[in-house]
Chains A and B, each alone.
Chain A
């Protein structure tokens, strides 16, 4: 199953707007990067929000721990090295903002889906597996020198 272009376009534009407006960082698509988050990140942060209704699936943001701390620091107005327990909540809110903006954009064309509250996973060696009848695409981005992957998962109906 392929990812419908309308979903890709709206996810990419939602992500760019959230980073620009709420984090004060611009992000650029970076197709030369590997098409999956690299295994050499050390500690990996994955923040996701699922949606259900007219379409069902999941939006997830993958970064290294350093990048997650940079993002949290930018949102809170503190230095990344001073970010501590705030990071999971901040990354969960980034996922919520991107998924919510994605949902609102799609609702201009089709019935709105409902979105769930965020889940954040932090660890050094994990993989997420989903049912076979899904489309799953990673979108590599750069934020300055740092890499960010947005993942979109769509359930087959």
Chain B
């Protein structure tokens, strides 16, 4: 299971990757915005995406739309990890095609639960 972690903050990528390691997922790739995420998906065999929303160059919502518009990647489970938790944000993310949602700030237990739920269907 290779997981692509997309966030403009290297600190937040590290926190997510540390959590993945703790729950037994040590195979991951990183990207610092949606555009880099699209490039990684084209060059790397990715099984799941964890993405931030607010990022320069290409936001998480635009990235998810690009993932869903591509036949090669449209089936991938996508978890969004974001501070954007207003009702209208959640509607917009669901419309874009997100499978699961984690609101920052989160505890490692929350992120672990959502990742396991996404992995096990």
Please name all residues of chain B whose beta carbon is closer than 8 Å to the beta carbon of A77 when the two chains form the complex. Answer: 18
Q: Which of B41-49, B72-80, B103-111 contacts A (4 or more CB under 8 A)?
A: B103-111
User: Which of A76, A92, A101, A108 meets B105, CB within 8 Å?
Assistant: A101
Q: Which of A60-95 contact B (CB under 8 A)?
A: 72, 75-77, 86, 89-90, 92-93
Task: Please judge, given known A-B contacts A92-B9, A112-B89, whether A101 and B104 are in contact too, CB under 8 Å.
Answer: yes
Answer yes or no: B2 CB below 8 A from chain A CBs.
no
CB distance from A79 to the nearest CB of B (A): 15
Please name all residues of chain A whose beta carbon is closer than 8 Å to the beta carbon of B8 when the two chains form the complex. Answer: 117
Say whether B54 contacts A22, CB under 8 Å.
Answer: no
Residue count of chain B within 8 Å CB distance of chain A: 24
Task: Please judge, given known A-B contacts A77-B18, A104-B85, A107-B86, whether A72 and B11 are in contact too, CB under 8 Å.
Answer: yes
Say whether A22 contacts B104, CB under 8 Å.
Answer: yes
- Of the candidates B8, B11, B107, the one having the most CB atoms from chain A within 10 angstroms of its own CB is B11
Residue count of chain A within 8 Å CB distance of chain B: 26
Answer yes or no: B26 CB below 8 A from chain A CBs.
no
Please name all residues of chain B whose beta carbon is closer than 8 Å to the beta carbon of A72 when the two chains form the complex. Answer: 11
Answer yes or no: A48 CB below 8 A from chain B CBs.
no
In the complex the two chains form, what is the Cα distance from A96 to B87 in whole Å? Answer: 19
In the complex the two chains form, what is the Cα distance from A103 to B105 in whole Å? Answer: 13
Please name all residues of chain B whose beta carbon is closer than 8 Å to the beta carbon of A86 when the two chains form the complex. Answer: 10-11
In the complex the two chains form, what is the Cα distance from A104 to B82 in whole Å? Answer: 11
CB distance from B92 to the nearest CB of A (A): 11
CB distance from A135 to the nearest CB of B (A): 23
Task: Please judge, given known A-B contacts A21-B106, A21-B107, A97-B105, whether A104 and B84 are in contact too, CB under 8 Å.
Answer: yes
Say whether B56 contacts A117, CB under 8 Å.
Answer: yes
In the complex the two chains form, what is the Cα distance from A76 to B12 in whole Å? Answer: 9
Q: Which residue of chain B has the shortest Cβ distance to A117 in the bound complex?
A: B56
Answer yes or no: A18 CB below 8 A from chain B CBs.
yes
Say whether A89 contacts B9, CB under 8 Å.
Answer: yes
Please name all residues of chain A whose beta carbon is closer than 8 Å to the beta carbon of B106 when the two chains form the complex. Answer: 21-22
Please name all residues of chain A whose beta carbon is closer than 8 Å to the beta carbon of B71 when the two chains form the complex. Answer: none
User: Which of A21, A89, A100 meets B10, CB within 8 Å?
Assistant: A89
Answer yes or no: B83 CB below 8 A from chain A CBs.
yes
Say whether B104 contacts A97, CB under 8 Å.
Answer: yes
Answer yes or no: A122 CB below 8 A from chain B CBs.
no
Answer yes or no: B38 CB below 8 A from chain A CBs.
no
Please name all residues of chain A whose beta carbon is closer than 8 Å to the beta carbon of B12 when the two chains form the complex. Answer: 93
- Of the candidates A18, A21, A100, A101, the one having the most CB atoms from chain B within 10 angstroms of its own CB is A100
Q: Which of B7-55 contact A (CB under 8 A)?
A: 8-12, 14-15, 18, 54-55
